[in-house]
Amino acid sequence: MNEPLFVIPLWADLSAVALGGLQGALFASGFRGQRRLDLLGVAIIGIVMGMGGGLIRDLLLNVTPTTLQSNWYLITAVAAALLGMLLATILERVSWLIVGLDALVIGLFGAFGTSKALYLGLPEVPAIFVGVAAAVGGGILRDVLMGLPVAIMHVGSLYAVAAGAGCVVLTVSFSLGAPLTAAAISAVAVTTVIRLLAVVFDISLPEQRALYRRKVAVETSAIAVVGGTRAADNGDAGATG
């Protein structure tokens, strides 16, 4: 199967890759497990978070990965990851920015994935699946590479649900005759808003909480027993610290 003529505008695609890489670096530098990541590790996480979604999408669609058709994807992902690492201390204070970024990235990867799948003629349900897989796939790869529990299986419902909602909106409006670009923009908006609302109405930040919980899980996996209370204390300290 040859690469079809469906083209996500390069600037939009690269923006998603850059935001993904940035988010990956912030995640990685926020992670204080037993093992620290070196520069190369951060670059890898940036590539995985910036390009993983697109790679998984194209593997599922059996087309040549778009992210490997141009030098810019890898350069952008790595540059964004290194920038993210440099800015980590500043950006961690503005955690609403990280959450917003994250919500936008999920929305973008989901919308790009479902759009491309519909364009290639996939039926509605698999098109939604491809979008969700593209939205959450980078995070799954990241967790597997970093040896963390896969977030989506335990705490990530909000992710997949937000991504799924956007992809459903895209698919339905496209089926009803809306132009693909308009449908995709609505999908990004829907996913981002749902994700942000979920965060807001959950009072604290689920992703941060998840991150801490996972960090704590890693750190205390051995210690948990020594005393249930101590483990809990530790967790709370982490959350408020």
Cα 47 to Cα 34: distance, rounded to the nearest angstrom:
22
- Count the Cβ atoms, other than its own, within 10 Å of residue 85: 21
Residues between 126 and 165 with contacts to its own copies, criterion CB under 8 A: 126, 129-130, 140, 144-147, 149-150, 152-154, 157, 160-161
Cα 20 to Cα 18: distance, rounded to the nearest angstrom:
5
The amino acid occupying position 98 is: I
237 binds its own copies (CB under 8 A): yes
C-beta closer to its own copies: residue 123 or 179: 123
89 binds its own copies (CB under 8 A): no
C-beta closer to its own copies: residue 62 or 89: 62
CB of 72: closest distance to its own copies in angstroms?
Answer: 8
Task: Give the binding-site size for its own copies (rule: CB under 8 A).
Answer: 66
Cα 239 to Cα 67: distance, rounded to the nearest angstrom:
37
Cα 57 to Cα 154: distance, rounded to the nearest angstrom:
23
7 binds its own copies (CB under 8 A): no
Residue 47 contacts residue 76 (beta carbons within 8 Å): no
Q: How many helices (H) and strands (E) does the chain have?
A: 10, 0
Task: Transcribe 142-178 into DSSP letters.
Answer: HHHHHT---HHHHTTHHHHHHHHHHHHHHHHHHHTT-
C-beta closer to its own copies: residue 37 or 178: 37
Binding mask 185-224 for its own copies (x = CB under 8 A): --------------------------------x--xxxxx
Close Cβ partners of 169 (under 8 Å, ≥ 6 residues apart): 183, 186, 187, 190
240 binds its own copies (CB under 8 A): no
Query: Among 16, 19, 26, 60, which residue interacts with its own copies (rule: CB under 8 A)?
Result: 60
C-beta closer to its own copies: residue 94 or 144: 144
CB of 231: closest distance to its own copies in angstroms?
Answer: 7
Cα 193 to Cα 150: distance, rounded to the nearest angstrom:
24
Interface residue list for its own copies (CB under 8 A)? 1-3, 34-35, 37-38, 40-41, 44, 47, 55, 58-65, 67-71, 73-75, 117, 122-126, 129-130, 140, 144-147, 149-150, 152-154, 157, 160-161, 217, 220-226, 228, 230-234, 237-238, 241
